[in-house]
Amino acid sequence: MSVVPAPRWRVAAGGSVAGTLRMPGDKSISHRALMLGALAEGDTHISGFLEAEDCLATARALASLGVQVERRAPTEMLVHGVGMHGLSPAEEPLDMGNAGTAMRLMMGVLAPQRFDSTLIGDESLMRRPMERVAVPLQMMGARIQTQEGRPPVRIRGTPHLRAVQYSVPVASAQVKSAVLLAGLYASGITRVTEPAPTRDHTERMLGAFGASLRREGRSVALDGGIGLRGARVSVPADFSSAAFFIVAGCLAAERPLLLPNVGINPTRTGLIELLRRMGADIRVREIGAAGPDAEPVADMEVRRSSLRGITVPESLVPLSIDEFPVFFIAAACANGETLVRGALELRVKESDRLAAMAAGLAVLGVEHQLLPDGLWIRGAGSLGGGAVESRGDHRIAMAFAVAALRARAPIEITDVANVATSFPGFLRIARKAGLKIEPL
């Protein structure tokens, strides 16, 4: 039975965390496994699938496009691939819920089809920028219309796309991935160059599904017109979910906190580097990756450490982009000043995460300055309590739950339902870890 999450949480101040915590499957990899599985010939078995609202939105969208997606167990999916040209038109607009990744990657999948599609989402997704994906796809000959840059995204299917050479202006794995997915259908070599490395799950998985692609420095080149074949995908635990407990461990693990089987793809783990620079004791034991396309996985161990503020190198921003909400909590609990710049992208996530975190830190009495592209924080060692707005953003809600470990008074967090988009078991796991968290 699924329980509808309560709209608010109350987290008691203080306490400690310990134990072995199994994190849910990786969201980025789960989305991609469903999509590539759908476009492949033959079956794709997905284990460790993230059974969260975002990935279920992708599964539902693919089902509306005629793909049989069987849920064998909560974390086991079997996708019966229809092949590159086997999708059929959906009767209704495809509702991608809160999931930016689902919408943007599906733009790449749907642009080269022989039918038209419309993509919509929830209130947050309907505000998010989509032109960044529409522009390169239009260069390939796709016909896509947004509403002043935002959803609904209306796609006139155009089966004969041209390969492009595209330099992505902002570091975005979603843009890169959408162009590569459309490139599967284009004649010739599609080459995407990024301004800085971003998560490379699409490239790895395309390789594992039989696509022909090469990495050339900051570029990836894909040969169009080559079909995919179904594969077995074993999804590691999501580093971005583990991040909340990595920081919780740094703040309050009197005994070691263990996180088994976490994905440690180096394009995702910037947070480890940042926390180590702050003085964190994080141990990572890699448990082997089979082959060049496999996702690296590790058991992690975290202990309480006294953290000091740092200046975050801009090169690490894309490698820790989803972890800033909880990183800012670490910074607020550290001694000394922390400065993050070059993080403008945080303003166009599920919420404006710079503004949301600044507002919450103000409630907790943390001295900070909101900058156009970042945040300056003077760490205070401990925090006050109060009522913090999550703005319906899952990562803001979970970050402030972790903050309570170092608070002097309870923290109340509003509008937490969207935690189910990425981490449906958060409340249970947080309690198991030692957080005193109650739904209101």
Judged by CB under 6 A, does residue 389 bind ligand S3P? no
Segment interacting with ligand S3P, rule: CB under 6 A, options 73-81, 171-179, 255-263, 293-301: 171-179
Tell me whether residue 350 or residue 412 sits nearer to ligand S3P (CB atom): 350
Segment interacting with ligand S3P, rule: CB under 6 A, options 14-22, 166-174, 287-295, 427-435: 166-174
Binding to ligand S3P (CB under 6 A): which residues in 69-98?
none
- Residues β-bridged to residue 291: none
HSE-CB of 248 using CA atoms within 13 angstroms:
32
Which residue of 10, 45, 191, 199 would you call a contact of ligand S3P, by CB under 6 A? 199
* 185: region left, alpha or beta (phi > 0 left; psi from -120 to 50 alpha): alpha
Tell me whether residue 10 or residue 176 sits nearer to ligand S3P (CB atom): 176
Q: How far is the CB of 26 from ligand S3P (least distance, A)?
A: 9
Judged by CB under 6 A, does residue 101 bind ligand S3P? yes
| 26 Cβ contact partners less than 8 Å away, ≥ 6 residues apart | 48, 50, 201, 235, 236, 237, 238, 239, 240, 263, 295
Judged by CB under 6 A, does residue 305 bind ligand S3P? no
Judged by CB under 6 A, does residue 268 bind ligand S3P? no
Count of other CB atoms within 10 angstroms of residue 292: 9
Judged by CB under 6 A, does residue 322 bind ligand S3P? yes
- H or E element at residue 344: none
What SS3 class is residue 419? helix
Catalytic residue among 54, 95, 322, 352: 322
Which residue of 64, 98, 124, 174 would you call a contact of ligand S3P, by CB under 6 A? 174
Nearest CA to 360 out of 394, 325, 312, 327 is that of: 325
Helix pair 353-363, 324-333: axis angle to 10 deg? 30
Which residue of 173, 262, 298, 430 would you call a contact of ligand S3P, by CB under 6 A? 173
What SS3 class is residue 207? helix
Segment interacting with ligand S3P, rule: CB under 6 A, options 135-143, 160-168, 169-177, 401-409: 169-177
DSSP state of 195: S
DSSP state of 22: P
Which residue of 64, 98, 113, 172 would you call a contact of ligand S3P, by CB under 6 A? 172
Binding to ligand S3P (CB under 6 A): which residues in 25-54?
28
Q: How far apart are CA 191 and CA 176, in angstroms?
A: 10
The yes-or-no answer on residue 322 being catalytic is: yes
Active-site positions read 322
Binding positions for ligand S3P, rule: CB under 6 A: 28, 101, 172-174, 177, 199, 321-322, 345
